[in-house]
């Protein structure tokens, strides 16, 4: 038995539970995806001064609710960034980029004092990327070159056909990586010429995960 009838109900519950971890007023960094979309609908409660959006889709949604979206260049820092994840582990390391917004997500998160991750428990994993392929944003001309380097590292890259990121780049989804050291692999992949960034969020991990489980909301931090 679950308190929630659907996965969407879990996402919505995680979003609601995150509100108390977010500053009232001020400027909030806002991620991208279906879980964050539930949070955006609740943001009027926080009476924000403005938001920094991690994607065009999020910016449009915020604006529709009358929340001002500001350019990150006009902001010195953020008290908090809130986002979902494709996977998260007990170290608060994440895989992100299922929605192809990983680069802007990583940039906005990098200027925030606190990263609040909101997920349903299907995203909670023992080891990153056993199930979910690792997204890597790549400059289009470097697609094949980057793919070959990734194969040399033991991964199986697949070109995400028909997807162009907000930055005009392409995505490689990498299967079969055995991620034993997320910090090292994040750096190694980012060092490949042509890689814009990869979807491992370990160098800048979550500070708290709000996880919606069958029994209700659990707040988890790194162990």
Q: How far is the CB of 61 from ligand 5RP (least distance, A)?
A: 13
Q: How far is the CB of 34 from ligand 5RP (least distance, A)?
A: 3
Residue 49 known to be catalytic:
no
- 86 labelled binding-site residue: yes
- 26 labelled binding-site residue: no
How many residues are listed for the chain in this entry?
Answer: 223
Q: Does 14 bind ligand 5RP (CB under 6 A)?
A: no
Q: How far is the CB of 172 from ligand 5RP (least distance, A)?
A: 14
- 97 labelled binding-site residue: yes
Q: Does 86 bind ligand 5RP (CB under 6 A)?
A: yes
Q: Does 133 bind ligand 5RP (CB under 6 A)?
A: no
The residue with tokens 């289009």 is 140
Which CB sits closer to ligand 5RP, 33 or 155?
33
Q: Point out the catalytic residue in the list 105, 161, 184, 186.
A: 105
Given a contact cutoff of 8 angstroms between Cβ atoms, the answer to whether 160 and 115 are in contact is: no
Given a contact cutoff of 8 angstroms between Cβ atoms, the answer to whether 118 and 39 are in contact is: yes
Structure tokens at 193: 């010429």
Binding residue (CB under 6 A) for ligand 5RP from 52, 102, 147, 192: 102
Q: Burial, 73: exposed, middle or buried (Cβ in 10 Å; 0-12, 13-18, 19+)?
A: exposed
- 34 labelled binding-site residue: yes
Q: Does 89 bind ligand 5RP (CB under 6 A)?
A: no
Give whole-number Cα distances, 145 to 192, 205, 218, in Å.
9, 29, 43
- 103 labelled binding-site residue: no
Question: Sign (positive/negative) of CA torsion 163, 166, 167, 168?
Answer: positive
Distance (Å, whole) CA 18 – CA 20: 6
Q: Burial, 74: exposed, middle or buried (Cβ in 10 Å; 0-12, 13-18, 19+)?
A: exposed
Residues of this chain that bind ligand 5RP (CB under 6 A): 31-35, 83-86, 96-102, 105
Catalogue the active-site residues: 105
List the binding residues for substrate: 32-35, 83-86, 96-99, 123
């Amino acid at each position: 038995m679950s308190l929630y009838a659907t996965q969407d109900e879990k996402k919505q519950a995680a979003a609601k539970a995150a509100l108390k971890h977010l500053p009232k007023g001020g400027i909030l960094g806002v991620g991208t995806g279906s879980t964050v979309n539930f949070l955006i609908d609740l943001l009027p409660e926080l009476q924000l001064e403005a938001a920094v959006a991690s994607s065009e889709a999020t910016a449009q949604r915020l604006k529709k609710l009358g929340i001002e979206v500001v350019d990150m260049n006009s902001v010195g820092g953020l008290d908090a960034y809130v986002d979902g994840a494709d996977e998260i582990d007990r170290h608060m390391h994440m895989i992100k980029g299922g929605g192809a917004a990983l680069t802007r997500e990583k940039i906005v998160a990098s200027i925030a004092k606190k990263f609040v991750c909101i997920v349903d428990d299907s995203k909670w994993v023992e080891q990153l990327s056993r199930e979910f392929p690792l997204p890597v944003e790549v400059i289009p001309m470097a697609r094949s070159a980057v793919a070959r380097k990734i194969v040399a590292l033991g991964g199986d890259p697949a070109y995400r056909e028909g997807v162009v990121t907000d930055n005009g780049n392409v995505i490689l989804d990498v299967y079969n990586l055995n991620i034993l050291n997320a910090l090292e692999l994040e750096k190694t992949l980012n060092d490949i010429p042509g890689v814009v960034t990869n979807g491992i969020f370990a160098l800048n991990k979550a500070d708290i995960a709000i996880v919606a489980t069958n029994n209700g909301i659990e707040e988890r931090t790194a162990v």
